[in-house]
C-alpha cells in the first residue's frame, strides 16, 4: 500500500453518497473479492466479482456496490 487511505466524499452515478444511517458524507473506500465457494453454494455465481465497499467515516455503516461485468 503506497498511499494512506483517507475518507472523502464519494459519488455514485453522479449522485453524492450519503450515509443512510447518520447522513454523513465522507466514506472510506475499499474493494472486496467475494467468496467464491460460498457464493457458488447460494447459486450466486454472478456475485463472484469484486465488490466496492464504502465505509461511513462517522458511524461505520458499510455500503456495498457490485459491478456486474
Site residues, Zn ion (CB under 5 A):
19, 21-22, 24, 56, 58-59, 61
CB of 63 to Zn ion, least distance (A): 9
Q: Could you give the CA distance from residue 14 to residue 54 in angstroms, rounded to a whole number?
A: 16
Nearer to Zn ion, 47 or 55 (CB): 55
CB of 65 to Zn ion, least distance (A): 16
CB of 60 to Zn ion, least distance (A): 7
| Residue 54, Cβ density class (10 Å: 0-12 exposed, 13-18 middle, ≥19 buried) | buried
Q: Could you give the CA distance from residue 41 to residue 39 in angstroms, rounded to a whole number?
A: 5
Amino acid at each position: 500500500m503506497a498511499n494512506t487511505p483517507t475518507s472523502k466524499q464519494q459519488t455514485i452515478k453522479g449522485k453524492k453518497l450519503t450515509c443512510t444511517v447518520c447522513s454523513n458524507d465522507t466514506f472510506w473506500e475499499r474493494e472486496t473479492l467475494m467468496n467464491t465457494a460460498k457464493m457458488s453454494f447460494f447459486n450466486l455465481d454472478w456475485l463472484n466479482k469484486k465488490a466496492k465497499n464504502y465505509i461511513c467515516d462517522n458511524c461505520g455503516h458499510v455500503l456495498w456496490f457490485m459491478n456486474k461485468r
